[in-house]
Amino acid sequence: MSFLDSLMLGLSMVANIESFLALGIGVAVGVIAGAIPGMSATMAVALTLPFTFALQPITGILLLLGVYKGGIFGGSIPAILIKTPGTPASSATVLDGYPLAEKGQAGKALGMALWASCTADLISNLALILFAGFLASFALNFGPPEFFTLMLFSLTIIAGVSGESLLRGALSAMLGLLLATVGLDLIYGTNRFTFGDANLMGGLNFIAVLIGLFAIPEIIAMVWNPKAFDGQKRAMGKSWVEFSEYRRCFKSIVRGSFIGVILGAIPGIGAAPSAFLSYSEARRTSPNKANFGKGELEGVAAAEAGNNGVAGATLIPLLALGIPGDVITAIIIGAFMIHGLQPGPMMFVINADIIYALFIGLIVSSVFLFFVGSVAIHGFKYVADIPRGVLFPSVLVLCIFGVFAVNNSIFDVGVMFAMGWVGYFMLRYRIPAAPFLIAFILGPLLEDNFRQAMLMSGSSPAILFRGPITWFFWTLTAITVFAIIRAGIRATRQHRALRTANQA
Amino acid sequence: MSFKKIAAACALTLGMTATGALAEYPERPINMIIPYGAGGATDISARAIAEALTAAAGTPMVMSNVTGAGGATGSVAVQNAKGDGYTMLFARVGSHTVNPAMKATLPYTLDDFRFVTVYEINPVVCAVTPASGINSMDDLIAKAKDGGVSYSSSGVGSLLQLAAVMVLREFGIEDPLKATVHIPQKGGGEAATAVLNGTVTFICTNSSALAGFVSNGQLKPLLVTTPDRLEGFDAPTAAELGKPALEQLVGWTGIAGPASLPDDIAAKWGEWMATAVKDEKFLAVMDKAGSVINLMSPDEAKAFIEGQYQTFRKLVDDLGMRIEG
Amino acid sequence: MHDRTIQLQLGIGAIIAAAFLLLVAIPTWVSSPSNVPNIILSPLFWPWVLAGLTAITGLAMVLTSIREPRPAEPAISEIDDKPRAWGRLASIAAVMVVAMVLMPRIGMVWTAMLVFVATAYLVRTSHPKTALVSAVVIPLVLYAFFAHVAGVAIPQGDFVRLP
């Protein structure tokens, strides 16, 4: 079967009402589910799975993919409106999205999130279609040593999101790394800070920590000083993003998309680190550097491009190797199997028509995402007009339900409350929360991959320098650390010069 | 009145309401805890039978994934639940035979649960990559004796870890812990990836987890633990290789309640399951996963699990694998 | 509070935390098997590294705070009704603790209603009537969604069960 034949066959499989309906419904369900904190894309996909049993394979899988893509974008809606990331992937969106909403520019932020998401989604899908084979073999070169060096490099993102003080960012990261050690040790299965409690043995639930760290401190802060929040009504402001703004952020969006594609193709990293990396890269290179974290539109664009860039690319290891990159793709693989399809190199030969049908469906899904997303934004934007005296208690209640739903655990609600106090303490002492979060995600990956590498080599550190990939990341890390130190010293000098000048 | 007294009083009232409710069990939805994440073998099995069970029981079955600590978190949630039949557990080989055999610090034992059935059995398959140049168990063992052989698992205390150790020992490696290296991964998917990208030499896991890789030619099966050859896996059985003892090495899924679950509720579950396992959709899903449906009565299930536990426990004790900390 | 004071307090706090980790927490609550071939593979290794890095960060913070010139204006804005603010803070903490106790006993929906009312009161809501209505409606809507659409077993408690 030639390429054209497969393409035509694929087209005929997709070009029917059911497929388009499945995609549309999927994206809509995903956006709504993603917008509800705790529901997250993962849960939405898991809930949709049973419905696909009765459908045609291609229709069922398109439905799931629609939910997945919608969910990743949907997470940005509460992140911007109520400082509660709907999915872990949208935590980087909070950094600039929420300050924009505070300024009455929620509509602009949401619009930019949508445009960036759709652009990144399209780039990611094209990358999947054009480079699936190449990226899949690249992904297979990632063993524990490569992962370790990549994580080490990713930890330098912390410097980019530390705000005014690098040291406080470091402190925040330490706290995140330490809390991430709670649970059973991966290599020996022994207890670490679990106090014999079965709930702690599983480690602290990431979404509980995330929501506790972002949403709850805001509520506690209002309890501390209701007057500061009172009467202040956030209007939607100018409700839509302008094309000139999109053009201004275009470079960051494209860069974020490619970061997403590369990190997405490597199984086991996920969308959150990609969003943070894209964000910190955008900040590093932007002329508006100082405005990041205070409501910079480019920050929202970069973060959303970073996480949506992952969505298409995670299908690369899935389709080309049969390897799930994260929980969501694990569920999607389950759907393939239930329909008697075995993702992997042979699928490109045996079921080439299905592969092309999926590709076409994916491209269409980017378009659907744009329209469904626009409708959703217009529906959700009124949240910004709710007076805070009603909004904040509602957010608290929503968080309780949402966090419980993640793992059906009341204990997790307690974790969220406790992290809320940690977050409030950090807010008062002006310790940035983002480094904590990045460290909390990357810390366990760093440690586990380091120890796995050591097991592989019989404790010889030479394995950490095997192959060009490790060298590449070592070099990158060295350059970045050097740049951070240089920038740090320069900033301190300027700061001091400014202060002395002011005092004189 | 102290808190304890109040609690006791509450428990008493609850006990009474519970007895009152027994006559018409089930009168409300039943919460089924799946101690593993979405997309895993347990989850697929549980969700496949959910619909049929709902029809059989005439009440909704609410599926709840409670993940963490290799199934321990979800299992403890059921261990501590009331024995009223409204909170039940999908027990799995990892959470209910391997974990208890390996972990001294586990907050539960087998006696904390009452098994109503084991309904599904998956054989174990050991596999390597074609690139490794290993073509048979003999090749693998020869290589293991030279040193430098490693295997992946979905974590300490998982079936994958114990399976690899048991296979190596059966094939004559005296101390598999010293001769080979265990490289645990975060989950089953990661464990399979580790073989594919060459991080480890081989993996032993449930056939369903490897079926895709084997049919795509990415992995080469060396051994299956079924009595007969397994469709889609071109590999000799344990018995053919002269190691029938390995037939005990199987994954299973069952249903359990807390130890206090009364007899009549257990009996009801027996009836429901007898109907549910005949459901065609369920059978189709299980068939694709390479599972064998084998419905056991509560007593059979208990004997089966106890037997597997004893085998594993002996292996763990012989090799000093028990985790005390 | 001045920025410099914050930095100093944080630095000292970090050093104390690191010392606590190294001397008490790690030896007591992190267990390691006896047969670990190499120290870098031990479950203790990473917590040790982290405790060490925390101590270094703390030291650096103390040092920079000493060298930092004294700024003119305080970094944390003070508020006028401090004792009452602390009282409110204590109340919201109490609300959270009570919610954790009540949730498994009376059910998540009823607890959420109480939490809503208490929080709305503590943030001195400017729309008390809307808040009261929302306090009843929102938990019910959330329950209906999570229990019946998403299929989550929302804790029902032992007294009044919702359909």
Say yes or no to pLDDT of A466 above 70: yes
What is the Cα B267 distance to its own chain's centre?
23
Name the token pair of B272. Answer: 């429901």
Test C116 with A396 for CB contact under 8 angstroms: yes
Task: Report which of residues A236 and A295 the model is more confident about.
Answer: A295
- Which range is most confident: A49-53, A362-366, C97-101? C97-101
pLDDT grade, residue B75 (50/70/90)?
very high
Q: Stretch A213-234: mean pLDDT, rounded?
A: 79
Tell me, letter by letter, the H, E, C secondary structure of A128-186. HHHHHHHHHHHHCCCCHHHHHHHHHHHHCHHHHCCCCCHHHHHHHHHHHHHHHCCEECC
Q: What is the 3-state secondary structure (H, E, C) of A277-314?
A: HHHHHHHHHCCCHHHCCCCCHHHHHHHHHHHHHHHHHC
Q: State residue B4's pLDDT score.
A: 47
Q: Is residue B24 part of a domain?
A: yes
**Whether residues B166 and B232 fall in one domain:** yes
> For A231-245, A296-310, B197-211, B244-258, which range has the lowest pLDDT when averaged over its residues?
A231-245
Burial zone of C11 (CB within 10 Å; 0-12 exposed, 13-18 middle, 19+ buried): buried
Single residue among B248, B265, B289 that ends a domain in this structure: B248
Domain boundary among B209, B229, B248: B248
Contact of C41 with A454, CB cutoff 8 Å: yes
First to last CA, chain A: 81
> How close does chain C come to A476, measured CA to CA in Å?
22
Considering the domain architecture, whether residues B238 and B133 belong to the same structural domain is answered as yes
Cβ atoms within 10 Å, residue B173: 19
Q: What is the pLDDT of residues C145-159, one digit of tens each?
A: 888 888 888 888 877
Both tokens assigned to A194 = 């679990």
CB B257 within 8 A of CB B113: yes
Residue B191 pLDDT > 80, yes or no? yes
Q: Which residue has the higher pLDDT, A450 or C77?
A: A450
Q: Report domain extents, chain C.
A: 3-67, 82-149
- Closest-CA residue of chain C to B29: C153
Q: Which helix (H) or strand (E) holds A192?
A: strand A191-192
Of A337-341, A392-396, B213-217, B294-298, which gets the smallest average pLDDT? Answer: A337-341
CB under 8 Å to B52, separation ≥6 — which residues?
A: B275, B276, B277, B278, B279, B281, B282
pLDDT for res C153:
87
pLDDT at B2 over 70: no
Interhelix angle for A91-102 vs A297-313, to 10°?
Answer: 150
For residue A373, what pLDDT band results from cuts at 50, 70 and 90? very high
| Residue A189: per-residue pLDDT | 87
Contacts of B63 in chain C (CB under 8 A): 151
Q: Which helix (H) or strand (E) holds A191?
A: strand A191-192
A487 band by pLDDT with thresholds 50, 70 and 90: confident
Is residue B246 left, alpha or beta, with left meaning phi > 0 and alpha meaning psi from -120 to 50?
A: alpha
Q: What is the pLDDT of residue B21?
A: 45
Q: How far, in Å, CA of C47 to CA of A180, rounded? A: 10
- Domain assignment present for residue B184? The answer is yes
Per residue in B132-166, is it b (16+ CB within 10 Å) or e — as a string?
bebeebeebbebbeeeebbbbbbbbbbbbbbbbbb
Instruction: Answer yes or no: do B92 and B142 share one domain.
Output: no
> In which residue are the tokens 């029981």 written?
B57
Q: What ipTM was assigned to the predicted interfaces of this complex?
A: 0.92
Query: Per the CB < 8 Å rule, is A452 touching B199?
Result: yes
Average pLDDT of chain C is 87
Question: Does residue A146 have a pLDDT over 70?
Answer: yes
User: Can you tell me the mean pLDDT for C97-117?
Assistant: 94
High-pLDDT (> 70) share of chain B, %:
93
**pLDDT-derived band at B11, boundaries 50, 70, 90:** very low
The mean per-residue pLDDT over the stretch B270-277 comes to 91
Residue with tokens 């009312």: C117
Q: Is the pLDDT of residue A372 over 80?
A: yes
Residue C5 near chain A (CB below 8 Å): no
Q: What is the mean pLDDT of residues B235-251?
A: 91
Co-location of B261 and B302 in the same domain: yes
Between A346 and A450, the more confident residue is A450
Residue B211's pLDDT band, with cuts at 50, 70 and 90, is confident
Final residue before a domain boundary, out of B197, B223, B248 = B248
Whether residue B257 sits in one domain with residue B109 = yes
Mean pLDDT across A177-204:
89
Q: Span B50-54, mean pLDDT?
A: 89
Residue, of C124 and B16, whose pLDDT is higher: C124
| Residue-level pLDDT at A135 | 83
Q: What is the pLDDT of residue B24?
A: 78
Q: Is the pLDDT of residue C78 over 50?
A: yes
Give B33-74 as a DSSP string.
EE-S-TTSHHHHHHHHHHHHHHHHHTS-EEEEE---GGGHHH
For residue B235, what is the domain's CATH number? 3.40.190.10
pLDDT grade, residue C74 (50/70/90)? low
**Structural domain for B139, as ranges:** 123-248
pLDDT of residue C69: 62
CB < 8 Å from A in window 6-35 of C: 6-7, 9-10, 14, 21, 25, 29-33
Please give the Cα distance from A19 to B94 (Å, whole number): 39
The minimum CA-CA distance between B274 and chain A, rounded to whole Å, is 22
- Model confidence at C79: pLDDT above 70: no
| Confidence check: pLDDT of B22 > 70 | no
Q: Are residues B13 and B115 in the same domain?
A: yes
Q: What is residue B14's predicted lDDT score, i.e. its pLDDT? A: 44
Which residues in chain C are contacts of B62 at CB distance < 8 A?
Answer: 151-153
Higher pLDDT, A487 or C55: C55
How would residue B228 be classed by pLDDT, with cut points 50, 70 and 90? confident
pTM of the model: 0.87
- Reading phi first (left if > 0) and then psi (alpha if -120 to 50, else beta), residue A34 is in alpha
Q: Which pLDDT score is estimated for B302? A: 92
Q: At what angle do helices A166-180 and A434-457 cross, to 10 degrees?
A: 60
> Which candidate, B25, B11, B45, B36, places its Cα nearest to that of B86?
B25
| C96-110 mean pLDDT | 93
Mutation pick from A390, A412, A424, A426 vs chain C, by most beta carbons of C within 10 Å, is A390
Is residue B317 predicted with pLDDT exceeding 80? yes
Cβ under 8 Å to B: C residues 127-156: 151-153
Distance of alpha carbon B107 from its chain centroid, rounded? 18
Q: H or E stretch including C13?
A: helix C3-20
Distance of CA A109 to the CA centre of its chain: 17
Summarize the confidence of residues A406-434 as an average pLDDT. Answer: 91
Q: Are strands B61-65 and B30-34 parallel, antiparallel or unpaired?
A: parallel
Q: E strands of chain B, at which residues?
A: 30-34, 61-65, 87-92, 113-128, 150-153, 181-184, 202-206, 220-224, 250-258, 292-293
Q: Is residue B325 part of a domain?
A: no
Strand B30-34 to B87-92 pairing: parallel
B89/B160 same-domain check: no
Residue B74 lies in a domain: yes
Please provide the average confidence, as pLDDT, over all residues in chain A.
86
Q: Are residues B226 and B207 in the same domain?
A: yes
Q: Specify burial of residue B110 (Cβ count, 10 A radius: 0-12, 13-18, 19+).
A: middle
- Say if residues B53 and B84 touch (Cβ distance below 8 Å): no
Asked whether residue B324 is assigned to any structural domain, the reply reads no
Rg for chain A, CA atoms, rounded: 22
User: Is B130 in the same domain as B160?
Assistant: yes
- Cα separation of B206 and B290, whole Å? 9
Which SS3 state, helix, strand or coil, does residue B202 take? strand
Residue C67's pLDDT band (boundaries 50, 70, 90)? Answer: confident
C11 compared with C34, residue with greater pLDDT: C11
Please check whether residues B127 and B243 belong to one and the same domain.
Answer: yes
Percent of chain A with pLDDT over 70: 95
In angstroms, the CA C108 to CA C153 distance is: 10
Counting beta carbons within 10 angstroms of the beta carbon of residue A263, is it exposed (0 to 12), middle (13 to 18) or buried (19 or more)?
buried
Cis peptide bond upstream of B26, omega within 30: yes
What total of structural domains would you count in chain B? 2
Decide if B305 is inside a domain.
yes
> Rg of chain B's alpha carbons, rounded to an integer?
21
* One domain for residues B38 and B107: yes
CATH for B10: 3.40.190.150
